Structure 1
Amino acid sequence: MTGTDVAESHSGKSGARRSSAPREVTASGRSAALALTGCLVGVFMQMLDTTIVNIALPDLTRELGASTSEQLFVLSVYTLAFACTLLTAATLGGRLGRRRVFVGSVIAFVVTSMACGLAQNPLELIVARGAQGVSAALMSAQTLALIAALFPKSRHPLVFGVYGAVAGLAAMLGPVIGGVLVTADIAGWGWRTIFFVNLPMGVAACALAWRRLPQLRDRPATRIDLAGVALSSVGLFLLLYPLAVGREMGWPPLLWVLLALAALMLIAFVGVEKRLLRGGGTPLLRLDLFTSRRFALGLVLSLLFFSVFAGFFFTVSITTQFGLGYSALRTGLLALPFAIGGALGSVASPQVVSRIGAARTLALGALLLGVGLACLAVVLRPETAMLSVPAAIAPLVVGGLGTGVFVAPLQTTILADTSPETVGSASGCVPTVQQIGASIGLAVVTVFFFGQVASQAETAVSSARTQLTAELRDSPVEPIFREPVTQRFADCASAQLTSAHPERPAAGCQPGGGDTTGMAATIAAQAGPQLHHATRTVVAHSFVGAFVATLWVLAGACVLIAILSGTLGLRRRPRLGSGYQNRGHTARTPRHR
């Protein structure tokens, strides 16, 4: 550890001492383990809240009366605030002290979580979710640097593996825990319990982390890179906002303008950071990190993997809830085999790394995830309009196993070449890239998925119409009215499935939206059971078919990730006068197993 990092005494007294080596900062075995546990509880909370809200959205929408746009912001504002604050949060931690910022942000996260749970209208919930995202970013940006300081370099593969495993498992368990909490309806709180559950976890994180974590404050205190803060925050917002709301708004020209402005802002940000680094200042993002091939390629892998991960969980959730009509609990429990596989993969990953090396382990994990997704696509049968849970369990376990094997060593690989001077900046960069990857994945996958729903419509509607015609022969509906009933059904089903929102009935086709008296009401009542069955069939057929097509694309992306992971193990011949040598370092080739 260099003289720019300070570990304040754990008693909390003033007079922090300058630390000259990592050995002076690392804590004793038991203290370090407890501090690590506190960090991991914080990681679990912040990652849990990225996915737990999805499962409770229908319930909170009904209670708060949220509009479609308000529902969208409830989901996206957390990620937007999280991603746009991470780089700034890493700098603030170095200036104010990482322990102080971590503990303070845990407290803020709990307070904002309670505010979310107590919200009485959509606006209050959206504001509280945004503040919750900022708190999560302040917490997340300190975690990697704190863990790196708690343990010697030789133990980083293990502890970063545990960190990655906990983060991945939290995201996987979000739907499960959310489904259980919403269904349990503890004390009549319903969906609000998904936020209240953060209170005991936050208290535990503070109790474990306070006084055990090193303070890690930059000395001397450097000026905050205000230009970098402004350019990165605005640039990331202009990038992520269109990705979050694009499909809902139909991608108007304004969103494309915002994306173009985002590119300009981020290019300007890179220019400012380069100039500041050359001038000996302290940039928000140290671009010399990218001279490490493992860091740069590791971020690319992280971006791609979390795109696949977010896209997969979105399509699972929307296919089961809207396509198959599953309850929140049943949808959540469907993620349980994936989470179990993830836990097993995380436990096995360190042993796999010790045998075949990090690069091959990452490739193996990506391939296993791809195999799991491909097998799930094979066992699904869109024409049956149902999901066989027993048949899906094994592919989900395999996919989770691959996720655990991949995520556990990813952080270690990315941070392998960081130094005490750069690990703080890397702590903000790594989760930022993960959030960008998740946002890009959701945007791209939703466009493809709903496009596939529309392409399935003709076949699905034709099949359901034939089935409905046969079923109406045994109904009380008079023969003269059967053809108009089937025609209206086909028109409404086609309009719904080819619309921008195939998860909602088309205009004028809502149940009970027509006449409530007279001949039309009588016919609707007589054909009610058959129409309900036909509607469920056509929607399920289309959504399951789209899900299958999406799974094949995601499996292909996993193969690409595996190929790129394998290149991490390729040795590069150092070139004289380039790379690290130009910066006064000895040129060397990182060793890979």
Structure 2
Amino acid sequence: MARADAVPADSIAAEPVVRAAWLALAGCLLGLFMQMLDTTIVNIALPDLTVDLGASTSEQLLVLSVYTLAFACTLLTAATLGGRLGRRRVFVTAILAFTVTSVLCGVARGPVELIVFRGAQGVSAALMSAQTLALIAALFPKTRHGLVFGIYGAVAGLAAMLGPVIGGVLVTSDVLGWGWRTIFFVNVPLGVIACGLAWRRLPQLRELPAPRLDLRGVVLSTAGLFFLLYPLAVGREQDWPPQLWVMMGVSVVLLVLFVVLERRLLARGGTPLLRVDLFRSRRFSVGLSLSLLFFSVFAGFFFTVSISAQFGLGYSPLRTGLLALPFALGGAVGSVVSPAVVDRIGSARTLCAGAIVLGAGLAWVGLTLQPISGTMSIPAVIAPLVVGGIGTGLFVAPLQTAILSDTSEANIGSASGCVPTVQQIGASIGLAVVSLFFFGQVAAQAQSAVPAARAGLVADLQNTAVEPLFRAPMADRFADCARGQLTSPHPDRPAPGCGDDASAQTGMAADLVGKATRELQVAGRSVAARSFVGAFQTTLWVLAGMCAAIAVLTLGLGRRPRVQPRTADDPASPER
């Protein structure tokens, strides 16, 4: 049984204890903000980071993926450790470790160092995240869970949405000449404040007697999740070799075996890493399914926005990051109004409305795009992005309450590790599936974009010093390179042997390219814009369709009776 070593209710006035609970919640939310911020902030800084550290393609990929891998694969184990050692102790220690590893990431002198420290940062984030929901549930009675879990969901969503914005601002401003390193140093003041707020205000929540660590569960869950998430993270970059498919097949076997062993351990009265009895609750099971699908859409959307803006439209990191700002502002509005909407129509209908509004916003963004001209009007996309953000806020804020509404003091710890694990799995699956579909669409769009760009280049070459004899062959060469690049697994990189500048050529070819550099660049930008914007539009409509499916799935939550307010004499009041 979890026990909170908080100050007894009769020893201190109610108001100071409530104030202490809110301050402790602020510490938890700052930790959550750091965790979620670091899942997206590095994407914007990757180009500068790569140049500074000389990272290879595989090292760049690991810099991005090792954090999420370490985070997701250790969440279940971290939840159990919190119950054994005390959730406050583990949480505060994890904040300190996260802050230290952030500094180490910021001072890394080589890509290998950065990869190692990013992995350690991910483990620290898991140790924090796995305690947060259980701690918040213990700080407040169930009558306030809708509010506090709504705040939790809002902070998580806003942090992920603001990652590109904050990253773009920090990298562009180049504070003290630190460049990309500031994206890690920004965690230092946040970590210090979070520690100050959480220490001594959070309940210890240690399970007594301390349960035996489920070592078999640790090994099977960690290995199973790694064999699932690693292929999803690197599959596209490596063009899906057979060994990655084998790893995913092994992951299914390991995870099924993990569930079977956890079920048997629970039946014998042991303490499993994952309490499978949680899934007897329809709201928990359906809620996790909603979380899996929603974070797939969320991650897929931000991936396509980022890559379409940077590689399709040639936006800078700052401009790309600022595209997320209207979405984040809408998310803030949706999160603020979500509790009132829940009170009026219930959590299931609020989730349904949020999914519908998000889908409408994504479809609206798609309608504003102009694939034929390869353009995206910034003023035109602001309103639909705000609408999409409002839908996200409406959905994310009450999601945790819906998932955890049937949990008890006995299984809240396991749920605290299970919920973020599913979110990370959903994000990984979303990135893998959406990127495959998106780049397939880029290749499909190239079939019409390349001939159009070639025709435009032929016309432009008539006004250059390129001899008429070489104009058609030059246009053909351009078309072959563009087609080869856009239909490859890496359409964001030039095809082998291709380049639009004279330095990439020698002899007569260099002379010809030098005479038509501007025209080649215009044609290259045109074909990239048309292909990426067209693929972005199609992907947005698919994601909007997924939102409609999520809206239908929310109906499976059913209705839940309102929780009656507790009196001051209730032992489960916040003074416990």
In the superposition, the TM-score normalised over structure 1's length comes to 0.92
Give the secondary-structure state (helix, strand or coil) at the position aligned to 1:249: coil
> What displacement does 1:476 show?
1.6
Q: Which residue of 2 aligns with 1:418?
A: 407
| Residue in structure 2 matching 1:46, options 11, 30, 35 | 35
Aligned pairs for 1:402-417 (under 5 A) are 402-417=391-406
Q: Confirm whether residue 153 of structure 1 aligns to residue 150 of structure 2.
A: no
Aligned pairs for 1:44-443 (under 5 A) are 44-443=33-432
Q: Residue deviations 1:238-283, cap 9 Å, x none?
A: 0000100111111111011101110010011011101100000000
Aligned pairs for 1:1-40 (under 5 A) are 4-9=1-6, 28-40=17-29
Are the counterparts in 1 of residues 500 and 513 from structure 2 also a CA contact under 8 Å?
A: no
| Residue in structure 1 matching 2:531, options 542, 547, 566 | 542
> What displacement does 1:28 show?
1.5
Q: Confirm whether residue 481 of structure 1 aligns to residue 470 of structure 2.
A: yes
Q: Name the CA distance, whole Å, in 2 between partners of 1:118 and 1:495.
A: 39
Q: Which residue of 1 aligns with 2:446?
A: 457
Q: Name the CA distance, whole Å, in 2 between partners of 1:495 and 1:9.
A: 64
Q: Residue deviations 1:168-222, cap 9 Å, x none?
A: 0000000000000000000100000000000000000000000000000000111
2:104 partner letter: A
> What displacement does 1:516 show?
5.3
> What displacement does 1:118 show?
0.7
Are the counterparts in 2 of residues 78 and 130 from structure 1 also a CA contact under 8 Å?
A: yes
Q: Residue deviations 1:121-174, cap 9 Å, x none?
A: 110010010000000000000000000000011000000000000000000000
Q: Name the CA distance, whole Å, in 1 between partners of 2:473 and 2:318.
A: 38
Are the counterparts in 2 of residues 25 and 214 from structure 1 also a CA contact under 8 Å?
A: no
2:114 partner letter: L
Give the secondary-structure state (helix, strand or coil) at the position aligned to 2:235: helix
1:480 partner letter: L
> What displacement does 1:510 show?
2.8
Give the secondary-structure state (helix, strand or coil) at the position aligned to 2:263: helix
Give the secondary-structure state (helix, strand or coil) at the position aligned to 2:488: coil
Q: Name the CA distance, whole Å, in 2 between partners of 1:296 and 1:415.
A: 10
Q: Residue deviations 1:327-385, cap 9 Å, x none?
A: 01000001000000000000000000011100000000000000000001111011111
> What displacement does 1:525 show?
0.8
> What displacement does 1:515 show?
6.6
Alpha-carbon distance change, 292 to 526 in structure 1, aligned in 2, over 3 angstroms: same
2:2 partner letter: D
Q: Name the CA distance, whole Å, in 2 between partners of 1:46 and 1:516.
A: 45
Q: Which aligned runs of 4 or more in structure 1 are off by greater than 6 angstroms?
A: 23-27
Q: Name the CA distance, whole Å, in 1 between partners of 2:2 and 2:550.
A: 36
Alpha-carbon distance change, 529 to 53 in structure 1, aligned in 2, over 3 angstroms: same
> What displacement does 1:513 show?
7.3
Are the counterparts in 1 of residues 24 and 198 from structure 2 also a CA contact under 8 Å?
A: yes
Q: Name the CA distance, whole Å, in 2 between partners of 1:94 and 1:24.
A: 29
Are the counterparts in 1 of residues 346 and 559 from structure 2 also a CA contact under 8 Å?
A: no
Q: Name the CA distance, whole Å, in 1 between partners of 2:234 and 2:77.
A: 24
> What displacement does 1:520 show?
2.1
Alpha-carbon distance change, 25 to 280 in structure 1, aligned in 2, over 3 angstroms: farther
Q: Name the CA distance, whole Å, in 1 between partners of 2:184 and 2:62.
A: 17
Give the secondary-structure state (helix, strand or coil) at the position aligned to 1:382: coil
Q: Name the CA distance, whole Å, in 2 between partners of 1:84 and 1:71.
A: 20
Alpha-carbon distance change, 225 to 515 in structure 1, aligned in 2, over 3 angstroms: closer
Alpha-carbon distance change, 427 to 382 in structure 1, aligned in 2, over 3 angstroms: same
Are the counterparts in 2 of residues 460 and 541 from structure 1 also a CA contact under 8 Å?
A: yes
Alpha-carbon distance change, 567 to 155 in structure 1, aligned in 2, over 3 angstroms: same
In the superposition, the TM-score normalised over structure 2's length comes to 0.95
> What displacement does 1:511 show?
4.2
Are the counterparts in 1 of residues 502 and 511 from structure 2 also a CA contact under 8 Å?
A: no
Are the counterparts in 2 of residues 362 and 562 from structure 1 also a CA contact under 8 Å?
A: yes
Q: Name the CA distance, whole Å, in 2 between partners of 1:362 and 1:57.
A: 34
2:18 partner letter: G
Are the counterparts in 2 of residues 352 and 361 from structure 1 also a CA contact under 8 Å?
A: yes
Q: Name the CA distance, whole Å, in 1 between partners of 2:255 and 2:200.
A: 38
Q: Name the CA distance, whole Å, in 1 between partners of 2:392 and 2:17.
A: 32
> What displacement does 1:6 show?
1.9
Q: Name the CA distance, whole Å, in 1 between partners of 2:267 and 2:281.
A: 18
Alpha-carbon distance change, 479 to 205 in structure 1, aligned in 2, over 3 angstroms: same
* Sequence identity percentage: 70
Give the secondary-structure state (helix, strand or coil) at the position aligned to 1:247: coil
Alpha-carbon distance change, 393 to 27 in structure 1, aligned in 2, over 3 angstroms: same
Once structures 1 and 2 are overlaid, which stretch shifts more, 375-384 or 509-518?
509-518
Are the counterparts in 1 of residues 291 and 423 from structure 2 also a CA contact under 8 Å?
A: yes
Q: CA RMSD in A?
A: 1.7
> What displacement does 1:519 show?
2.6
Q: Residue deviations 1:388-439, cap 9 Å, x none?
A: 0000001100000000000000000000000000100000000000000000
Q: Name the CA distance, whole Å, in 1 between partners of 2:314 and 2:50.
A: 17
Are the counterparts in 2 of residues 27 and 150 from structure 1 also a CA contact under 8 Å?
A: no
Give the secondary-structure state (helix, strand or coil) at the position aligned to 2:351: helix
> What displacement does 1:518 show?
3.6
Q: Name the CA distance, whole Å, in 1 between partners of 2:306 and 2:159.
A: 16
Q: Name the CA distance, whole Å, in 2 between partners of 1:350 and 1:548.
A: 33
Q: Report the count of equivalent residues.
A: 559
Aligned pairs for 1:505-584 (under 5 A) are 505-512=494-501, 518-569=507-558
> What displacement does 1:566 show?
2.0
Alpha-carbon distance change, 24 to 92 in structure 1, aligned in 2, over 3 angstroms: farther
Q: Name the CA distance, whole Å, in 2 between partners of 1:374 and 1:534.
A: 29
Give the secondary-structure state (helix, strand or coil) at the position aligned to 2:237: helix
Q: Name the CA distance, whole Å, in 1 between partners of 2:302 and 2:504.
A: 39
> What displacement does 1:9 show?
4.7
Q: Name the CA distance, whole Å, in 2 between partners of 1:567 and 1:25.
A: 39
1:135 partner letter: S
Q: Which residue of 1 aligns with 2:566?
A: none
Alpha-carbon distance change, 25 to 416 in structure 1, aligned in 2, over 3 angstroms: farther
Give the secondary-structure state (helix, strand or coil) at the position aligned to 2:3: strand
Q: Residue deviations 1:508-562, cap 9 Å, x none?
A: 0034476755432221111110000000000111011110110011000000000
Are the counterparts in 1 of residues 79 and 131 from structure 2 also a CA contact under 8 Å?
A: yes
Are the counterparts in 2 of residues 26 and 151 from structure 1 also a CA contact under 8 Å?
A: no
